[in-house]
Amino acid sequence: MKTITKILATSAAAVALFFTTNANAQSQKLGIGLTAGIPTSDAYKFAAGADLRYQFDVDKQLSIPVTAGYTRLFAKDYTIGNVTYEGVDYGYIPVKVGAKYFFDDSGSGVYGLAELGAGFGTNDGAGTSFVYSPALGYAWSSGLDLGVKYEGLAQNGTSTGFFGLRIAYGFGL
């Protein structure tokens, strides 16, 4: 199955879920987050990003997040012989949809999160990658959210990613 097909199928499922749930029973939140991480590829030394996350609650324990932002993988310089070359950073705009499940029925505390989507490369000729991001975190009722995640990008048989720490603040709409 091609990456674009996977992205379209995921998007269609999310839209169907939006329209089949009772809108009156949902609460909505908007969150602003910052992420810092360690890349899994030797070509990069650091990852940093920022995002906006719109989240609506299906019930107290299950939420559907839609996330978009910007992430940059900072390249390492490399040496061949006696010549050092400057590495090329990689930037992308991740657009993801997922499911967030709170293990406590209060709607805060420890949660698991899984997101899928597309990463639109901002470098010349970078193209679009399939993005996947599992996470574990803790959300306080005050709106503070702290999570650890892996974000992977796959395109044309190659992949890279990073392990990161995300700190965010969410507020009700």
Q: What CATH number has the domain bearing residue 41?
A: 2.40.160.20
pTM, full prediction: 0.81
What domain range is 73 assigned to? 3-172
pLDDT (0 to 100) of residue 18: 53
Only one residue has tokens 């010549």, namely 83
DSSP per residue, 107-165: S-EEEEEEEEEEEEE-STT--EEEEEEEEEEEE-TTSEEEEEEEEEEEETTEEEEEEEE
pLDDT at 172: 85
**pLDDT at residue number 22:** 47
The pLDDT, as a whole number, for residue 106 is 86
Number of domains observed in the structure of the chain: 1
Q: Rounded CA gap, 110 and 103, in Å?
A: 6
Signed CA dihedral, 106, 107, 109, 112: sign only = positive
Give bridge partners of residue 6 from the DSSP assignment.
none
Q: What is the pLDDT of residue 107?
A: 81
- What is the mean pLDDT, run by run of 10 residues, along the chain of 173 residues? 52 52 67 97 96 94 97 94 92 97 91 98 94 97 95 93 97 85
